[in-house]
Amino acid sequence: MAEERGGGVPGGLWSGSISFGLVNVPVRLFPAYRTVPTGLRMVTPDGVPVERRYWCPKDEREVDRDELVRGFEVEDGSFVVLTDEELEGLEPRKSREIDLRRFVEVAELDRFHFDRAYILAPAGDSTKAYRLLAAAMEETGRAGIATFVMRTREYLVAILARDGILWAETLRFHDEVRAPADVDLAEAPEASSDAIETMKKAVAARSRGAIDRGELKDTHARKLEALARGKRRAGEGVVRIEEEDASGGAEVIDLMAALKRSLAASGEGGGVRDAAGTRGGGGARDRRDPVEPDLASLTKDELYQRARDRDIPGRSRMTKSELVRALS
């Protein structure tokens, strides 16, 4: 089984080897891109982040996640329900190998088929085979066509070499790429040679030797961040969520219960005021009362599971604070 990790840079997404003939090149796969979040989320006017829920329009009710199944839509608009076992049976056999099937001219690759880029970094103690393969592919202008399995899916990739580094571009399948005829392009009239020459001069006037990487900036994201930070400094439009401290009451009750047990064990039943201001009596009562755990320290999923076990109505629509209150 291929070693798979998260998208973080230290370990990469996948590790294995490029394999063809008797050649075996250990590599690690890293995403070539990173998504820079803009920080926008959907919230209510008072700043509470909203959540996505599943709604059944037929029954007009919210559907819990554990009620969902997966279906394949067929031509008449109906769905064929597929079980997890059936879907798992379709998964490709996991492997540590990128099966490099053939080499082609780089010029033969249609860029429209490129989907997502990854960096193939050398792995293992020796990088000699990696360097040799990268140099040979780059000098001959060749790209490798290969397949490999990551998680539960098989990918078709083009492996390219540039500046001594191997890259993998996942390829879109042929039926995913639109043809010009699909967008109903009108047939363009023949352009005159004079018009073509004029256009070529306009192109040459703006031509540069290389791309200025300083121009490759997301100006909208920068303006958005500057706007938000400027409003924050001015104190405009800032909303703060005052999360109710649901753990406060639980801590007091736990402390009082512990004190009562301690006094009961020492034979002092003088009574200690509890969270409601009443006096605790004997130790027998305290031993009968179970101590509620610190609910606020649980995750929302754990709270939801407890609410589900107790059949608390409306639990699927509750926030974490509401779940804590309901369970308390």
Does the structure show a pLDDT above 80 at 317?
A: no
Q: What is the DSSP string of 34-61?
A: ---------B-TTSPBP---EEETTTTE
Residues 6+ apart with CB under 8 A from 199: none
pLDDT, position 52: 86
Rounded CA-CA distance 181/246 in Å is 61
Task: Identify the band that residue 150 occupies on the pLDDT scale cut at 50, 70 and 90.
Answer: confident
Length in residues, the chain:
328
- 129 or 260: which carries more pLDDT confidence? 129
Number of DSSP helices (H) and strands (E) in the chain, helices first: 8, 12
Does the structure show a pLDDT above 50 at 253?
A: no
> Which residue ranges make up each domain of the chain?
3-34+91-176, 246-327
> Which residue blocks in 68-208 are alpha helix, DSSP H?
84-90, 128-140, 193-205
pLDDT, position 134: 94
pLDDT, position 22: 84
pLDDT (tens digit per residue) in 38-62: 778 888 888 888 888 899 998 999 9
pLDDT (tens digit per residue) in 67-99: 889 999 998 889 999 988 898 888 888 888 999
pLDDT (tens digit per residue) in 292-312: 457 777 777 778 778 877 878
Lowest mean pLDDT across 125-129, 201-205, 255-259: 255-259
Contact between 37 and 51 under an 8 Å Cβ cutoff? The reply is no
pTM exceeds 0.95 for this model: no
Does the structure show a pLDDT above 90 at 169?
A: yes
Q: Which CATH number does 3-34+91-176 carry?
A: 2.40.290.10
Tokens of 40: 């926008």
pLDDT (tens digit per residue) in 189-210: 788 999 999 999 999 998 888 8
Contact between 109 and 99 under an 8 Å Cβ cutoff? The reply is no
What does DSSP assign to residue 255? H
